[in-house]
Amino acid sequence: MDKVYLDNSATTKPKSEVIEAMMKPLTTTYGNPSSLHSMGEEAEKLIKQARRNLARIIRADGREIIFTSGGTEANNLAIHGTLDTLKRYGNHIITTKVEHSSVLTTLEELEKEGWEVTYLEVDETGKLDLQQLQKVISEDTVLVSIMHVNSEVGTIQPIAEVKEIINKYKDSKLYLHVDGVQALGKIELDVSNSQIDLLSLSSHKIHGPKGVGGLYISEDIRLKPQFSGGGQEMGYRGGTENVPGIVGFGQAAELISGNIKQATDYMQKLKKRLAQGIINNLNGVQINGPELKEGVAHILNLSFRGLKGEVLIHALEDKNVYASTGSACSSQNSDLSHVLQAMGIDDEAMEGAVRFSLSSENTEEEIDYVIDVLTDIVPQLRKIIG
């Protein structure tokens, strides 16, 4: 079997249409979007189109989207940018224990500067504690930052309920930032309905190029830019735009537009097939995270008792299967997953955790191949280690 790529939460394969679209600003429309001549205008038009494409899938206005270098920068800008303008209204931030490192490390640094941060607990499925949120939120809270979909275990957080709780503090300055990096293209996002104030997005999780992302900023919100320059991106992000990257992101967004339900129904089917196939064939396997139908369609986190996730990843690679132990962005860190720890998963299960993450390009044949490979190698590895 050719490469079976099941690490789509880490990154996805750029679609051929995306690569093709990116060639235009690399070869012919290479003007600087800020230039006044027609070549500049043409490049600017390409960016506008990408902005419109992205706005359409999250039901925003194009003027509310700015492009960044990725989800990490979008998270940093959302947090630092709001806090720089909100510090006179309060000193308290709320997040969860299971956020992406780009949020957690940013907030840990802010704690050192004197901000008070509450890290909400999650239950055994990774879902945040709404009652705790209700208890800790106060007039002093200026920012709530929650990820929509957990990148390691696929939990979908109850953003609407979070917003309902926040709405009781409507009169104070309190913003809701949502890290939507793993949600884009996997669940329907509607910023107008959900009243999200800031939403972080990333291109390379939806078959676009790496190094480009976006931040939705609701029109009534003002952020302090984190780097100054020529006033690009509505003044929020100085610097000549990454036109090919932005065009690729816009094209990737266009390709998923109107297609989310069909794609996620298909991935749910593959996820169920994979989970059931493995669990039926092997002992000592558990699902980490929500029940199959409750979790996001593309993420399946399983623990193989008695094995180390890392060992299994390499054994899978020998058979041309690519998966990961958790978030790629934190896998250099050899500590056990902060997400699984927060969920109260026991040490043996944490050590044996593997994340399989799907895309709509995976096939049933690939899934069956992975089931066969695991059915073969897991007992062998257990025998060697045991």
Ligand X SMILES: Cc1ncc(COP(=O)(O)O)c(C=O)c1O
- Which of 14, 71, 250, 309 contacts ligand X by CB under 6 A? 71
Q: Which is nearer to ligand X, 29 or 68 (CB)?
A: 68
For residue 257, give every residue at least 6 positions away whose Cβ sits within 8 Å of its Cβ, in sequence order, or none.
53, 56, 57
100 near ligand X (CB under 6 A): yes
- Which of 18, 77, 181, 196 contacts ligand X by CB under 6 A? 181
- Which of 31, 33, 70, 209 contacts ligand X by CB under 6 A? 70
Give min distance, CB of 151 to ligand X, in A: 3
Q: Which is nearer to ligand X, 320 or 331 (CB)?
A: 331
329, 341, 361, 375: the active-site residue = 329
Instruction: Report d(CA 174, CA 190) in Å as an integer.
Output: 20
Q: Which is nearer to ligand X, 96 or 182 (CB)?
A: 182
Euclidean distance between the first and the last CA atom of the chain, given in angstroms as a whole number: 29
The residues in 1-60 that bind ligand X, with binding defined as CB under 6 A, are none
Give min distance, CB of 324 to ligand X, in A: 10
Q: Is the distance from CB of 208 to CB of 177 less than 8 angstroms?
A: no
Give min distance, CB of 293 to ligand X, in A: 21
- Which of 8, 29, 72, 264 contacts ligand X by CB under 6 A? 72
Q: Which is nearer to ligand X, 181 or 191 (CB)?
A: 181
120, two tokens: 């909400």
154: left (phi over 0), alpha (psi -120 to 50) or beta: left
Count H helices and E strands in the chain, helices first.
Answer: 13, 12
Instruction: Report d(CA 87, CA 101) in Å as an integer.
Output: 23
Stretch that binds ligand X, among 48-56, 64-72, 249-257, 279-287 (CB under 6 A): 64-72
In what helix (H) or strand (E) does residue 4 lie, and over which residues does it extend? strand 4-5
Q: Which is nearer to ligand X, 179 or 366 (CB)?
A: 179
182 near ligand X (CB under 6 A): yes
> In 10 A of CB 59, how many CB atoms?
14
In what helix (H) or strand (E) does residue 313 lie, and over which residues does it extend? helix 309-318
CA 330, 197, 110, 146 torsion-angle sign: negative
Q: How many residues bind ligand X (CB under 6 A)?
A: 15
Q: Is 385 helix (H, G, I), strand (E, B) or coil?
A: helix
186 near ligand X (CB under 6 A): no
Stretch that binds ligand X, among 25-33, 70-78, 114-122, 259-267 (CB under 6 A): 70-78
329 near ligand X (CB under 6 A): yes
11 assigned to active site: no
Instruction: Report d(CA 178, CA 317) in Å as an integer.
Output: 34
207, two tokens: 């078959």
Q: Is the distance from CB of 143 to CB of 93 less than 8 angstroms?
A: yes
The residues annotated with a catalytic role in the active site are: 329
Residues that bind ligand X (CB under 6 A): 70-72, 75, 100, 102, 147, 151, 179, 181-182, 202, 213, 327, 329
